[in-house]
Amino acid sequence: MMSSGYTSLDNHKVSGSVPAVPDPTPVTVKFAESNLQTFPPTETQGKISGGFRPPRDADDTFSKPVSGSSSDESQPSGWLRIFSVAAYKPYFDVDTSDVLERVKESLFPFKGNFSEKIASNPDLYGPFWICTTLIFVAASIATFVTYLARKLQNKEWDYDIQLITWSAGLFYGYVTIVPLAVYFILKYFSAPFGFVHLLCLYGYSLFVFIPASCLSVIPLEVFRWAVAGVAGFMSAAFVSLNLRAHIMSSGERWILIVAGIFLLQLALAVMLKLYLFTVTV
């Protein structure tokens, strides 16, 4: 006999039990239109047009002072500006692609259009690292050349620390003093040329000496002289041809100025060969 506490299937009634809870009504959740940024963005962002790109330098995001802040008011003016970092920042505002393109242009000296390409944006980033790299490469290769020559003759070898200091003085001094002298000479002959443009031009002209220094490992004196001569000729042609069109406006003496610039660049190659890649045993 069934207890009355059980459900009667015929009458669909529940006796002596908890009433059934009806199913809840479904709740429709409406989301407001999202304000999050979609990728890729439709508008041009960043410094490079055509799409979203990160800033060239990590400091670009934090380098822009807020309008009316103390950083705007503390910027020096006049000649005091040369002692501020902000004065040199535009000359380091280049991408890797820009530097590589200019390095490639320096290996084709007979085009003579390098000065036109850097007219609106000369940089000091490439010249600085080219000069620094050349200092260490030239000193390292010169050390290895001396080491190899002494070991082949079973002689004792001692490292000469002066190779670093000598090469640093040679290249840093050359890339600074020579453009400064050319700047005043051109200004005297009424054919002024920007000093930063000259620094950029002379800095990139030194790149050809980096592979030349590496080739000087080959222990053949004639080959080393040939390498130094070719590198010096390419570097001299690169500088003189890019300044020729500008110097021609100074009058009939432009030939002497261009010839002096050409010979001075050749002299750098001779000094590089004599003092770094001439082995004395």
**DSSP track, 126-164:** HHHHHHHHHHHHHHHHHHHHHHHHHHHTT------THHH
Which among 243, 246, 179 is positioned nearest to 206, based on CA atoms? 179
CA 148/CA 155 separation, integer angstroms: 10
The predicted model gives 174-196 an average pLDDT of 89
Q: Kindly state whether residue 239 falls inside one of the protein's structural domains.
A: yes
pLDDT tens digits, 187-222: 888 878 889 999 999 999 999 999 999 998 888 889
In a domain, 242, yes or no: yes
89: closest CA among 64, 116, 66?
A: 64
Can you give the pLDDT at residue 55? Answer: 38
The better pLDDT of the pair 197, 70 is held by 197
Q: For residue range 81-136, what is the model confidence (pLDDT) as tens digits?
A: 666 667 777 788 888 999 999 999 999 988 888 988 888 889 999 999 999 999 99
Q: Give the residue with greater pLDDT, 95 vs 162.
A: 95
Residue-level pLDDT at 149: 79
Domain for residue 30, yes or no? no
Please tell me the total count of domains within the chain: 1
Q: Has residue 57 been placed in a domain?
A: no
CA–CA distance, 97 with 67 (Å, rounded to integer): 32
Q: Which domain covers residue 140, as residue numbers?
A: 119-276
Q: Is the pTM of this model over 0.75?
A: no
Q: Locate tokens 């390419």: which residue? A: 234
> Rounded distance, CA 185 to CA 115, Å?
18
Q: What average pLDDT does the structure give for the chain?
A: 75
